[in-house]
Amino acid sequence: MEVILKEDVADLGFRGEVVKVADGYARNYLLPRKLAMQATAANKAVIEQMKAAAARRSATEKAQAEELAAKLEPIELSFTRKAGDGGHLFGSVTSVDIAAELAAKGFEIDRRKIQLGDPIKSIGEVKVAIRLHREVTAHVAVKVLAEITEEEKQAAAIAAAAAAAAPAAEPAAAEAVAE
């Protein structure tokens, strides 16, 4: 069966294209969800108007996506997670976490647009791609830091106190040697 796509359908085609699909796929999936319409003679006449409208819509969407990509490029997201000795995280940073952090910064990005193959499971910095439009992709820096435990905080405080006390003891020792 030939159908005219009303929306972009993954692995099938883009809005306004005439594609040939199995009858059951068209009847049970594409037509009920209004993703496509039958490619009849009357509908084929309308397809040219749809293509022109889709081209205009796609051009405005692309321009908006490019503008958003320019705003997203300098953004750096930072996450603090518990980590083991080797820098391996106990949890992970997922696309949901990245979308939530972007929302906190004022950017409403759908988590499905964030191109993260596997969740981030190690400490470090990663460039994450965000597909805003089929032709526009932005890259955001994501930095994952290790969470400092209470024991490490106490050890750092003791070290800082020892470092502060050491310079005060040196002049007294120098005066004792001079006498």
Domain boundaries for CATH 3.40.5.10 within the chain: 2-64
DSSP letters of 113-156? GEE-SS-EEESEEEEEEEEEETTEEEEEEEEEEEPPPHHHHHHH
Q: How confident is the model at residue 166, as a pLDDT? A: 66
Q: How confident is the model at residue 147, as a pLDDT? A: 82
**For 2-64, CATH number?**
3.40.5.10
What is the amino acid identity at position 76?
Answer: E
Spell out, as residue ranges, where the chain has pLDDT lower than 50.
173-174
Q: How confident is the model at residue 15, as a pLDDT? A: 79
Contact 54, 15 (CB under 8 A): yes
What is the amino acid identity at position 109?
Answer: I
Q: How confident is the model at residue 98, as a pLDDT? A: 92
- Please tell me the pTM assigned to this model: 0.61
Q: How confident is the model at residue 27, as a pLDDT? A: 93
Domain boundaries for CATH 3.10.430.100 within the chain: 73-150
Q: How confident is the model at residue 178, as a pLDDT? A: 53
* Cα 165 to Cα 46: distance, rounded to the nearest angstrom: 83
- Cα of 126 vs its chain's centroid, Å: 11
**End-to-end alpha carbon distance in the chain:** 104
Which residue(s) pair with 79 in the sheet? Answer: 144
DSSP conformational letter for 112: G
The angle subtended at Cα 13 by Cα 37 and Cα 130, nearest 5°, is 125
Topology of domain 73-150, CATH: Ribosomal Protein L9; domain 2 (3.10.430)
Which residue(s) pair with 83 in the sheet? Answer: 89
- Closest by alpha carbon to 77, among 97, 52, 56, 62? 97
